[in-house]
């Protein structure tokens, strides 16, 4: 029976995706170990250290070997790492050429490089999903560029905005994440072949060239120096996932609040039974948003773990490295789940424009008190205009009246704005949207 949400038949597709699980499965990880060992043999053959026919044999064995996973598991528990037991099996499969398997390498060289190969494949998935999500958000922002709604600060109505503006704010973060993924690749996608203490002493003077060829075989960047205990690249990858899921968690929070009965401005896509309650037939819970928020909170904890795990002792660590084995795959699985939920939810998001307008009118014009104040300021002075409008707002709040009607009874305001019709125009929230539309256009055009 499964023991975590990541391998549970019930929950695994709520906290991960099949595609991302395939990247981090045991079979895929062992495959990356074998890929790394084969690349090392090929590179060393190119460097003239290993016979070419031996490298060919090792490469073929790495591709065709049938792994005894039970033996690998049992020996890994004894050794503490899977590479020595795996090298035993690969060496046996390669016959006489097996004497050249793992030449000059150390366990962490193979495991680090294999993890980087996993990260590269996982980042490809994340980058693709971010671009697809960008397209969905761009469509929403464009469609609702001019759809007025209440902007809220401190959970109180503040000033009118448009729903397209709100979506474009979300989108701007996604654009930056797309950039961050590409910018992080050169720093994160480094090969590792350095030997026991990282000095390449086991292979001698040609070690750096051998290392270059090894990285070239795998399409990875060659590091300037050993990174056995310099874990900033791996920590950056998970921190990047924390930023991405943080943005998705913010989107989810906005959507969940706007789905609340009292707001009623959005609904997640409808599927029969989706978000249903076991006892309340009327319920339609925002399940996708809830999972996105949960992912953000979980990845945030992994970011903290990875930052703590950067603190290694001397030239090889005594434990912090192991934290990556937990946090790296789980962070990518959670991020993949959050992105999948975001794409599904936002692609089918139901926008209730009528309810947005009704909510905008809840305060009977109070939401645009600033508009009246600023319009009157040139004639009355900013502070005096503020005091006069403030007094009218207080009367509207206490007496429940319409702000435009109250202001129409204030001669100073009527004179400053040029008549009662002008007051009503300034009290229409749709006329006080600032530069929402222009800002949406800037985001859609990719301008910085």
Assess whether 277 carries a catalytic annotation.
Answer: yes
**Mean pLDDT to the nearest integer, 149-166:** 94
Of these residues, 3, 64, 154, 278, which one is catalytic?
154
Interior angle at CA 259, CA 254 and CA 261, nearest 5: 135
- Is 367 a residue whose pLDDT tops 90? no
Assess whether 384 carries a catalytic annotation.
Answer: no
- Is 439 a residue whose pLDDT tops 50? yes
- Is 276 a residue whose pLDDT tops 50? no
| pLDDT on residue 447 | 66
| pLDDT on residue 385 | 86
Helix locations, 219-319, DSSP H? 232-259, 287-309
pLDDT digits (tens, 9 = 90+) for 197-230: 999 998 989 999 999 999 999 999 999 999 999 9
**Mean pLDDT to the nearest integer, 425-448:** 89
pLDDT digits (tens, 9 = 90+) for 283-339: 578 999 999 999 999 999 999 999 999 999 998 888 888 999 999 999 999 999 999
pLDDT digits (tens, 9 = 90+) for 64-75: 999 999 999 999
DSSP 59: H
| pLDDT on residue 368 | 85
Residue 199 phi, psi dihedral angles, 5° rounding: -100, -5
Position 396 confidence tier, pLDDT thresholds 50, 70, 90: confident
Domain-wise residue ranges, the chain:
22-103, 107-357, 361-445
- Is 271 a residue whose pLDDT tops 90? no
Strand partners, 119: none
Position 397 confidence tier, pLDDT thresholds 50, 70, 90: confident
Question: What is the average pLDDT score of the chain?
Answer: 92
- This prediction's pTM: 0.92
**CATH class held by domain 22-103:** mainly alpha
CATH fold, domain 361-445, is: Ribonucleotide Reductase Protein R1; domain 1 (1.10.40)
- Is 1 a residue whose pLDDT tops 80? no
| pLDDT on residue 91 | 96
**Mean pLDDT to the nearest integer, 352-356:** 96
Same topology between domain 22-103 and domain 107-357:
no
Span 107-357 CATH architecture? Up-down Bundle (1.20)
Q: What is the 3-state secondary structure (H, E, C) of 164-193?
A: HHHHHHHHHHHHHHHHHHHHHHHHHCECCC
Question: Percentage of residues in the chain with pLDDT exceeding 70?
Answer: 97
Start-to-end CA distance of the chain, whole Å, equals 51
CA-to-CA distance for 288 and 294, rounded, in angstroms? 10
Residue 289 phi, psi dihedral angles, 5° rounding: -65, -40
| pLDDT on residue 87 | 96
């Amino acid at each position: 029976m499964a023991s975590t949400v990541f391998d549970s038949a019930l929950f695994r597709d709520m906290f991960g995706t099949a595609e991302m699980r395939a990247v981090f499965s045991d079979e895929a990880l062992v495959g990356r170990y074998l890929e790394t060992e084969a690349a090392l043999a090929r590179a060393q053959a190119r460097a003239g250290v290993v016979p070419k026919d031996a490298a060919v044999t090792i490469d073929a064995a790495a591709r065709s070997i049938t792994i005894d996973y039970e033996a690998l598991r049992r020996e890994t528990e004894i050794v503490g790492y899977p590479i020595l037991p795996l090298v035993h099996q690969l060496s046996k499969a390669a016959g006489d050429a097996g004497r050249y398997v793992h030449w000059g390498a150390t366990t962490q060289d193979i495991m680090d490089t294999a993890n980087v190969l996993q990260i590269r494949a996982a980042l490809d998935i994340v980058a693709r999903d971010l671009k697809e999500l960008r397209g969905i958000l761009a469509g929403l922002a464009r469609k609702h560029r001019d759809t007025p709604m209440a902007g809220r600060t401190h959970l109180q109505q503040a000033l009118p905005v448009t729903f397209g503006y709100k979506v474009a704010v979300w989108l701007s973060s996604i654009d930056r994440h797309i950039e961050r993924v590409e910018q992080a690749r050169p720093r994160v996608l480094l090969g590792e072949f350095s030997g026991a203490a990282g000095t390449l002493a086991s292979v001698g003077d040609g070690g750096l060239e051998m290392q270059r060829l090894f990285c070239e075989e795998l399409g990875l960047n060659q590091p300037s120096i050993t990174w056995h205990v310099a874990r900033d690249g791996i920590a950056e990858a998970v921190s990047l996932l924390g930023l991405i899921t943080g943005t998705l968690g913010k989107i989810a929070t906005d959507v969940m609040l706007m789905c609340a009965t009292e707001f009623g401005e959005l609904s997640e896509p409808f599927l029969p039974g989706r978000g249903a309650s076991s006892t309340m037939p009327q319920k339609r819970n925002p399940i996708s948003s809830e999972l996105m928020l949960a992912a953000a909170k979980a990845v945030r904890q992994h970011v903290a773990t990875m930052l703590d795990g950067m603190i290694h002792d001397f030239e090889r660590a005594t434990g912090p490295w192991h934290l990556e084995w937990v946090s790296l795959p789980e962070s990518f699985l959670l991020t993949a789940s959050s992105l999948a939920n975001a794409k599904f939810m936002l692609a089918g998001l139901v926008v209730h424009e009528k309810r947005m307008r009704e909510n905008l009118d809840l305060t009977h014009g109070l939401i645009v008190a600033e508009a009246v104040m600023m319009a009157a300021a040139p004639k009355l002075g900013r502070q005096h205009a503020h005091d006069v409008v403030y007094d009218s707002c207080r009367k509207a709040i206490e007496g429940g009246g319409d702000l435009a009607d109250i202001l129409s009874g204030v001669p100073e305001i009527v004179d400053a704005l040029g008549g009662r019709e002008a007051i009503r125009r300034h009290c229409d929230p749709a006329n006080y949207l600032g530069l929402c539309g222009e800002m949406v256009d800037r985001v859609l055009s990719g301008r910085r």
